Structure 1
């Protein structure tokens, strides 16, 4: 991150925001419990909630740690929305006072996502002040009628996500006059979060598919290099050393229907096993990642871990229980475009919603970026068993393993043909596990 020069900040409080005059806005310290539960409820249809509440936290970066400076709540003041009120206040009370070499990390918890005007103004503010990083958590998102504005906000370094239970708890503990009472989630909170997260992905879909010259690479950098401090903690929590034999047989089974164990049905979880082969004969690095409910997908955790290693000219093989979702696929593709010397091969046991166009587009973005994608067959299952399971016996194929694999390969081949990519990836189906790098 480049330090902000003093001369670039002179007069930017009003010029950047296109206002010649403004009165100083003062935040409120907390909001009531009823206000929080009414305005931050992540309903599908939030009628009567016309105000936007912005709970903010400003931290100053001190070496490798963060020092808390300010926190409070803004709402609309006159014609100025809460976002602009915060920018005016932040410029007057922080940027004018602190050294221009200071770096700040700002976190917003909002009842509504920014409107298209505010999104544009915040993007311009971030473009002018490069010593800022902004993370925005929204309880609800406006109808996706302004994707280009939100994309421009992300392009300038903002991280945008839907609020889930951890964010609601943080907001409750820091910004609500709760009287010492713990946060009690409202009914179907997580289900509503998944709906809001789906709406966000729909809004940002144009950002993902414009290509590397526009937003796709930028989005990857934002999501993975300007992530919150909790990201490294999540990677460590979701890291698994080895898989148990019964877990491998249950989760990597490529049967179309889930087979019950006894009288109980189990849930197929998204596992990712990776092997990173380094040059010069070094020992390969291996690991297993598991997506946690309501948290980052295993693919995103994998990218965060690989980026922290700062490696190049390596070969990585990934075995997944499910093929990547569109969001993970687009971010994997952006990562590969950022690292053209890296060889990345992905083998999936099963195809995830392969009949939906959005998921097919995600697979296409992987192929177009140079990532080799295929379905696991007997050699891949055997290799995964050998490297990522603590086996007490050789791998014993389950019934119809090769037949199920052939069916999935046929579906994958039809996706390639329907999108005109067969010539580009016609040799992937014959891909074999190669020897170690020299």
Structure 2
């Protein structure tokens, strides 16, 4: 095989301390740092014992066929772990966030390995001001990847596990120089709604199901219509819940935060429609009611695919509070699914097919009517 062609290869065990302190600091602009390092950990539940793998990849800069660190990992992983039906927990610590091409390849990789969870901690954001790079990060987020900026804890973890430190204690030095800016920038990128979602994501996350195991994410497709003087203004997008253990944020909360920032005027007329994969929890229901108190001229319609803990009294009470506040509540039917497909999915001209989207529609519609009655 030609030396420039990417191939599965073994990762490095560790990197030099000077390399770590030069390549990994949180910097807004990092001149002279054209290399990208990827420290990884693969945890596998294999029968009755846990198996773990560690290493470091670096991008390959051959001019005829460059290979990014993320691509090197994907080549290696497919060769090392060919089984698609095992459970894998993968963590990356990156010196640069993925480019749009790598983001696309990671999303395809996650389609192959359905039982794999991926967490990415990045030290810096690659071209964070470029819309294409921002959209790449949102596509990763859409595919279920946990994204965050490396903090002191992650730097110390990398020092202990991926650096030839020769028993020297970790010192953060200038590693956290622009952490605050980068964390806020990433939050802003992910806070803004995605344009659309992938068709496979839609067909996996949105079907009417009584019990939907493995679907811990919640997607919120929204439409905001505004009567502004003598013309109509409309806004569209998709939010997904943030599952960070330190600061979880439900999709509804993401929308409310974004809306208050985007539409600060309380005296205009707004018609808002949500298409949710899961109905709101009691906390989100309370926050929506308070939100409607702020925006007296706003009407909200919620079409939900599934009912979240529909048997639990507090969740039922939350739905009733929304109903009492004037929210229109209904279960997504074929019309709503087709509307979402046309407006919120990267369908690439493919016609809508309902497949198994309406499997438990009758049960859920009757259950919602019973709750509200």
Do they superpose with TM above 0.5?
yes
Can you list the C-alpha shifts for 1:78-113, whole angstroms capped at 9, x where unaligned? 311111111111111222xxx443111110000000
Query: Quick check: 2:221–2:275 contact (8 Å CA) kept in 1?
Result: no
Is structure 2 residue 82 aligned with structure 1 residue 103?
no
Residue of structure 1 equivalent to 2:290: 373
Partner Cα separation in structure 1 for residue 299 and residue 162 of structure 2 = 56
Greater helix share, structure number: 1
In angstroms, what is the RMSD of aligned CA positions? 4.1
Secondary structure of residue in 2 paired with 1:372: helix
User: How many correspondences in the alignment?
Assistant: 248
From 149, 159, 166, the equivalent of 1:179 is 166
Greater relative contact order (Cα < 8 A, sep 6+): 2
Structure number, greater radius of gyration: 1
Which of 36, 45, 48 is 2:29 aligned to?
A: 45
State the partner residue of 2:139.
152
Matches within 5 A, 1:48-67: 48-62=32-46, 67=50
* 1:120/1:165 CA distance change after superposition, 3 Å: same
Deviations 1:148-206 (A, max 9, x none): 222222222211111111111111111011111222112482x6222111221233344
1:304-347 CA-partner distances (Å, limit 9, x unpaired):
9xxxxxxxxxxxxx9xxxxx8559999xx9x9934437544546
| Residue number in structure 2 paired with 1:357 | none
Q: Residue 154 of structure 2: which of 158, 164, 167 is its match?
A: 167
Q: Name whichever structure is richer in strand by fraction.
A: 2
Which residue of structure 2 aligns with residue 85 of structure 1?
72
1:201 aligns with 2:118: no
TM (normalized to structure 2)? 0.56
| Alpha-carbon distance between aligned partners in 1 of 2:121 and 2:145, rounded to the nearest angstrom | 11
Unaligned runs of 5+ in 2: 197-219, 223-235, 263-271, 302-320, 326-371
Alignment pair present for 1:73 and 2:56 = yes
SS in 1 for 2:91: strand
| Corresponding residue of 1:337 | 276
Q: Greater shift after overlay, 195-204 or 163-172?
A: 195-204
Change (3 A) 1:101 1:42: same
Distance 1:177 1:120 in 2: 33
When residues 159 and 215 of structure 1 are mapped into structure 2, their CA distance, relative to the original with a 3 A threshold, is: farther
Structure 1 ranges of 4+ moved more than 6 A: 327-330
Whether the 8 Å CA contact 2:138–2:194 is kept in 1: the answer is: no
Give the 3 Å change call, closer, same or farther, for CA 184–372 of structure 1 in structure 2.
Answer: same
Kindly report which structure 2 residues correspond to 1:222-237, keeping only aligned pairs within 5 A, or say none. 223-224=242-243, 231=245
Give the SS at the match of 1:207. coil
CA distance in 2, matches of 1:44, 1:342: 37
Give how far 1:216 is off: 3.9
Separation of aligned partners in 1, 2:280 and 2:170: 48
